[in-house]
């Protein structure tokens, strides 16, 4: 009586799937989930996990600091503390545009800049200010609160 060979096609071992028998007895073709193929003997199939390339990739992924969704969400929700106050007056020293410091109230605050409505200025800067309609946008480091 002839012993029928067990068809292992389609069996899964780790990331490997048995694809087909080979010309050699008891040797099968197995394919990793990434597509790399190896041949494997019957007795060694159970040892299959993943190919070297996939294993290396997995180790690299482990080394990367884990950033879970919760932490990402928390960082995203963290309020960005506003630097300026709508009630206060600010002194703006923008030497590129104005000879003298100008005084203004906050209109809008952005990341690194803010816009101000200029309320007080030296007459030498009047012309320049009219050009901006007395509303200017400046970098925050040029601005100090007047206490």
Judged by CB under 5 A, which stretch of 22-30, 50-58, 112-120, 124-132 contacts Zn ion? Answer: 50-58
List the interface residues with Zn ion, window 2-41 (CB under 5 A): 32, 34, 36
User: 40 with 46: CB under 8 angstroms?
Assistant: no
Q: Which is nearer to Zn ion, 58 or 73 (CB)?
A: 58
Phi-psi region of 134 (alpha: psi -120 to 50; beta: other; left: phi over 0): left
| Residues with Cβ within 8 Å of residue 104, at least 6 apart in sequence | 89, 90, 92, 116, 117, 118, 119, 120, 136
- Residue 97-136 contact track with Zn ion, rule CB under 5 A, x = bound: ----------------------------------------
The angle at the Cα of 68, spanning 66 to 69, to the nearest 5 degrees, equals 160
Q: Which is nearer to Zn ion, 31 or 105 (CB)?
A: 31
Min dist. Cβ of residue 115 to Zn ion (A):
55
Query: Which residue ranges make up the site for Zn ion (CB under 5 A)?
Result: 32, 34, 36, 51, 54
């Amino acid at each position: 009586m002839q012993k029928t060979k067990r068809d292992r096609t389609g069996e899964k071992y780790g990331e490997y799937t048995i694809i087909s028998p080979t010309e050699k007895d008891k040797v099968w073709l197995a394919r990793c989930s990434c597509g790399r193929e190896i041949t494997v003997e019957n007795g060694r199939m159970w040892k299959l996990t993943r190919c070297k390339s996939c294993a290396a990739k997995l180790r690299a992924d482990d080394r990367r600091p884990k950033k879970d969704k919760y932490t990402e969400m928390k960082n995203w929700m963290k309020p960005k503390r506003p630097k300026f106050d709508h009630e206060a007056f600010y002194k703006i020293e923008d030497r590129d545009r104005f000879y003298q410091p100008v005084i203004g109230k906050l209109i809008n605050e952005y990341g690194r800049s803010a816009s101000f409505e200029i309320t007080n200025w030296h007459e030498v800067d009047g012309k320049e200010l009219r050009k901006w309609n007395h509303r200017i946008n400046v970098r925050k480091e040029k601005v100090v609160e007047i206490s």
